[in-house]
Structure 1
Amino acid sequence: MSRGSQSSRAGKSTTTTPASVVVVGGGMAGLCSARELAAAGLAVTVLEASPDFGGSVAPHSLAGLTLDAGAESFSTRADTVPALARELGLGDRIRTPNPAGAWLQLPAPDGGRMAAPLPISGVLGIPADVRDPDITRLIGRAASVRAALDRALPLGSLLNQSELSLGAVVRARMGSEVLTRLVAPVVGGVLSADPDDLDVDSAVPGLRAAMRRHGSLGAAVGAMRQAAPAGSTVAGLDGGMHQLPAALVDVLKRDGANLLASEPVRTLTRRPDGWTVVTDSRTLEADAVIVAVDGPTAVDLLSPTLPQLARDRPEVVPDVALVSLVVDVPQLDAAPRGTGVLVGEGTPGVRAKALTHATAKWPWLADKAGPGNHVVRLSYGRASDTTAQVADDALFSAALHDASLLLDVRIGQADVVDWDVVRWNNALPHATIGHRDRIARVRAATADERGLEVVGAWLAGTGLVSVIDNARDRASALARRLLDAY
């Protein structure tokens, strides 16, 4: 690839035009990729299909409060997000949530509902110690006895299976009740997935190795918990997580990157010396591209150039709808259900899969809202339920009903100061069975394409830690290759 050069009149220096890179997608993966490229001195253009940057780390405003419309916390298992926050001048805003924790709402043996605090000693709801009285209270004595067999049963050939789901591991080691009453509500609320659909190695990296080392599922989970950093397993930002992409956009503009919103990319075409990127309003030529969109969109864009990718096009993930309520209900000052509620499937009368009592979870938000005012967010989108697809007004009514049941405090329409519905499409890709093989094939297919990288949660894994680490690593590697070429 040759580049033009500009010589000074004195003939003493030559300035080479920097290599150009187009980043397709302006979510966190795209913005973090662009940050690495711009910092390396490359010419960067970011094309985002929607009117705003940030993807699922987005804001919305209710009752004068700027709230997170998507992700509102991050995992503290690594320094990835805190390090980025410090780089962007947001390090002093990192906050840990109220340690009270969340509750579980489950079907009761008598056909009603039962609520209890969620045990916090496990991983994705998998308990480290099934003898804990809190666990027995939730699953029953007989199920607790069955779960305790995990410590005595040999591992056998379970861990040797090439394709193994998280649900299969929990069911085999601890029984169905642990799976349906503890693990499924957490996985459904956090990952919007069914444990039987999730690849165990993608859902809980290192779990297989820990089980081999410690001899049981419970011991492995306990060891993983002990190895995790002290304190809360999640944190957030005072003012909201949406400040991260906003700060990234500011830094990128300062560094000369060209950020274009409402520019969906229609085609990507390989040229002998680079790529042609076509949107509805422009055609760009670049030395390299980073594709930072959801899996189905990425495969659709790249398949004309790499037709072998078509067989690995991921399925579209079911829609998720989030209903946010700002309510004037002083009874909620007592945080009757801690920081929120995870709901077991089949719980009578409740269609939400999770509720976050945001003003109970984040003290900074409670200070902004003021006494008696509360922010509650309900999540809809189970595979077995179509509530997430109904109209906004119907979702609002469902949210009032569910919030009253889940918080055990009546919330009527007259109590609502403001409300909003945010819908996310394909936002939480599932690491389904065979996903690791899909990733390997996609990486192999794209590895030999000069000037191409593919990033995002569908390949990196869900969660900001995975997305950011992968995006920065891949963008840095691309920047080095381009700089070496010039």
Structure 2
Amino acid sequence: MSQTQDRTPGGPSAAGRVVVIGGGISGLAAALDLARGGAAVTLLEASGRLGGKLHADEIAGVPVDLGAESILARRPEAVALAREVGLGDDLEAPAVLGATLWTRGRLRPMPQGQVMGVPGDLGPLAASGVLSAAGLARLPLDHVLPRTEVGEDVAVGRYVAARLGREVVDRLVEPLLGGVYAGDAYELSLRAAVPQLYAAVRTGRSLIEAARGVQRRAAAAGATGPVFNGIRGGVGRLPLAVADACRALGVVIETGSAVRELRRTGPHGWQAVLADRTVEADAVVLALPAPAASRLLAGESPAAAAELGAVEYAGMALVTLAFRRRDLHQLPVSSGFLVPPVDGRTIKASTFSSHKWGWLGAAGGDTFLLRTSVGRHGGEADLAWDDTDLVRLSREDLGEAVGLRAAPVAARVTRWDAGLPQYAVGHVGKVARVREQVAKLPGLAVCGAVYDGVGIPACVGSGRRAAGEVLATLVRSAGDGAGE
């Protein structure tokens, strides 16, 4: 066990003792709010570091994210948290926009006027060359076809293909959804993955009109500013800054501390059982991936454990490459490109990191960083390659896509095995059933990417929601005790 803060905990506060299990951004956000609410908090992380899929490190002496590298800025939770923990001045919008699609033999502009690949404006799509003439000719049928019922849920790919044809799914929806979930559009839930479109198509017939409506509502809501933000020095700085804020409030944070069992000890009591000791608590926040949460809930909530145990995950790898700038004179000035799986390439995307982020371009000097991603749900076979081969395969695809023939001065492969939960059809109902069962156990809350979204803001919001539920339970428990 490695304890990241040496502190002898004092007596429990009036709000009680809370154990947060999991040190990713969801668990850290929960711990921060719990401590602010007066709880005596212990956070236990099984691995040797904090941050989960947010991991800042370096390659060739240049700081870089080896996990998530951008924050959705149009959703407020993560940006607000960054400001709260002193990183507000380090938030930075992308310096270069204009992602492209590597499809049908060359790089093509990403069509504007679409919602997760579903076109609302057909002009940019036609001009992009992403679809064939036959694929474009199929689109107008959306306006005359009978309504396609979505019911309680439907797979994104199945619904979009029924309205607009498979080419739209294969060339547009797949690469965009794959960039978020590393998933298969023909299996992912429309209701969970693209909820704004799900709501729109329940009341209308045309999917194109639904996409236009989503865009109009977003414009009417006055969304301004960048869609995404990075953080100078890497988004991986965020969990470390939150951890520092937690410690300043007295939170005990331990890494290398795997919880083996979770026991309920009474109406308002819990035990987290580790290899070398048992931690007593009045409440617990489980901020873990579904398989780990399922194992810990098996004894106290078999129904919730079964639901979580059925969630599938996708593995992926990030290949980060460092080059000398003078060797990259042919590289397009864009933020990178996405690759539809139907094109049969090894990589599913490449980010030209030193173009995309101004801070990284400046920090790198003569060193230019880019990265590729490999692996998706149902297509993890490529992850069986060793690191050297993943670098080689990435370079081969980059050579075909953008003519990059230079040898990197450094390379690093980061593997995220079972890294992203898959929101299969019915996922929203599954999450509701899990929370219904968890709510039967006072003092227990769950949070993380499996519940309300895989993005950083969604995870922060999930953690803060769990903290609020636990604090409310502790207040009620204190009131009950005072009345006895």
Same fold by TM-score greater than 0.5: yes
Residue in 1 aligned with 2:124? 132
- AA in 1 matched with 2:310: P
In structure 2, the CA distance between the partners of 1:16 and 1:316, relative to structure 1 (3 Å rule), is closer
Aligned residue in 2 for 1:260 = 254
Q: What residue number does 1:58 align with? A: 55
Would the aligned equivalents of 2:314 and 2:422 in 1 still touch at CA under 8 Å? no
Aligned-partner residue type, residue 25 of structure 1: G
Deviations 1:255-296 (A, max 9, x none): 000000011111101111411111123210111100000001
1:96 pairs with one of 93, 96, 116: 93
Question: Which position in structure 1 is the counterpart of 2:457?
Answer: 465
| 1:167 matched residue in structure 2 | 157
Contact 1:320-1:388 at 8 Å conserved across structures: yes
Relative distance call for 1:60 and 1:316 in structure 2 (3 A) is farther
Q: Kindly tell me: are residues 157 and 15 of structure 1, through their superposed partners in 2, closer, same or farther at Cα, counting changes over 3 Å?
A: closer
**Shift in alpha-carbon separation, 1:331–1:133, aligned structure 2, 3 A:** farther
How far apart in 1 are the matches of 2:125 and 2:468?
A: 49
The answer to whether 1:204 aligns with 2:194 is: yes
The answer to whether the aligner puts 1:35 opposite 2:66 as a matched pair is no
Once the two structures are superposed, what CA deviation does each residue of 1:415-468 show, in whole Å capped at 9, x if it has no partner?
x22221111122211111121221121111111101100111111221112111
Letter in 2 for 1:240: G
In 2, the alpha carbon distance for the partners of 1:294 and 1:276 equals: 20
Unaligned runs of 5+ in 2: 1-10, 479-484
- Structure 1 pair 99/174, CA: closer, same or farther in 2 (3 Å)? farther
The one-character-per-residue Cα deviations of 1:388-431 (angstroms, maximum 9, x if unpaired) are: 2221122122222222223222132xxx2222111112221111
Alignment map for 1:41-440 (pairs within 5 Å): 41-106=38-103, 108=104, 113-132=105-124, 134=126, 137-154=129-146, 156-159=147-150, 161-212=151-202, 215-228=205-218, 229-272=223-266, 273-312=268-307, 313-330=309-326, 332=328, 335-336=331-332, 338-347=334-343, 350-371=345-366, 373-382=367-376, 383-412=378-407, 416-440=408-432
Distance in structure 1 (CA, Å) of the matches to 2:137 and 2:128: 9
Whether 1:455 aligns to 2:451 is no
Determine the C-alpha separation between the residues in 1 that align with 2:84 and 2:232. Answer: 16
SS at match of 1:318: strand
Partners of 1:298 and 1:458 in 2: CA distance: 10
Q: How far is 1:148 from its partner?
A: 2.4
- The answer to whether the Cα contact below 8 Å between 2:29 and 2:463 also exists between their aligned partners in 1 is yes
Question: Would you identify which runs of 4 or more consecutive aligned residues in structure 1 move more than 4 Å?
Answer: 14-18, 133-136, 212-215
Return the offset for 1:331.
5.2
Provide the C-alpha distance between the structure 2 equivalents of 1:460 and 1:63, rounded to a whole number of angstroms: 37
Using the TM superposition, give the Cα deviation of residue 213 of structure 1 relative to its aligned residue in structure 2, in angstroms.
5.1
| Secondary structure, counterpart of 2:314 in structure 1 | coil
Task: Measure, in 1, the Cα distance between the counterparts of 2:278 and 2:31.
Answer: 19
* SS class of match (1:52): coil
Inter-CA distance 43–292: structure 2 relative to 1 (3 Å threshold): same
CA distance in structure 2 between the partners assigned to 1:115 and 1:337 by the alignment: 12
Q: How far does residue 43 in structure 1 lie from its aligned partner after superposition? A: 0.5
Note the C-alpha offset of 1:476. Answer: 1.5
Equivalences, count: 461
Distance 2:404 2:244 in 1: 42
- Aligned partner letter, 1:281: D
Partner Cα separation in structure 1 for residue 325 and residue 457 of structure 2: 36
The SS at the match of 2:280 is strand
% same residue? 34
Contact persistence 1:335–1:360 (CA under 8 A): no
Considering only aligned residues, what root-mean-square deviation do their CA atoms show, in Å? 2.0
- Kept in 1: contact 2:148–2:205 (CA 8 A): no
Check whether the contact 1:77–1:233 (CA below 8 A) recurs between aligned residues: yes
8 A Cα contact 1:102 1:337, kept in partner:
no
Q: Under a length normalisation based on structure 2, what TM-score does the superposition of the two structures give?
A: 0.90
Q: Distance in 1 between matches of 2:257 and 2:91?
A: 33
* Corresponding letter in the other structure for 2:287: A
Q: Distance in 1 between matches of 2:72 and 2:12?
A: 43
Q: Deviations over 1:96-142 (max 9, x none)?
A: 11343211112x3xxxx222121132122222122335456110122
In 1: Cα distance, 2:154 partner to 2:283 partner: 37
Distance change (3 Å), C-alpha of 1:135 and 1:17: same
User: What's the secondary structure of 1:319's corresponding residue?
Assistant: strand
2:482 paired with 1:482: no
Deviation string 1:368-397 (CA, Å, 9 cap, x unpaired) is 1124x2111111113235112221122122
Structure 1 range deviating more: 455-464 or 285-294: 455-464
Residue 264 of structure 1 aligns to a residue whose secondary structure is coil
> How far apart are residue 157 of structure 1 and its match?
4.3
Assess if the C-alpha contact under 8 Å between 1:341 and 1:406 holds in 2: no
Aligned in 2, Cα 1:327/1:136: closer, same or farther, shift over 3 Å? closer
CA distance in 2, matches of 1:70, 1:329: 23
Q: Distance in 2 between matches of 1:89 and 1:216?
A: 46
Whether the 8 Å CA contact 1:309–1:445 is kept in 2: the answer is yes
Paired residues of 2:57 and 2:66 also in contact (CA < 8 A): yes
Q: Find the counterpart in structure 1 of residue 16 from structure 2.
A: 19
Q: Is the 8 A contact 2:15 2:471 kept in 1?
A: no
Q: Deviations over 1:329-350 (max 9, x none)?
A: 43536641611111111425x3
Q: Secondary structure at the match of 1:426?
A: strand
Give the distance between the partners of 2:29 and 2:445, measured in 1 at CA.
13
Check conservation: 2:47, 2:258, Cα contact below 8 A.
Answer: yes
Give the distance between the partners of 1:190 and 1:18, measured in 2 at CA: 38
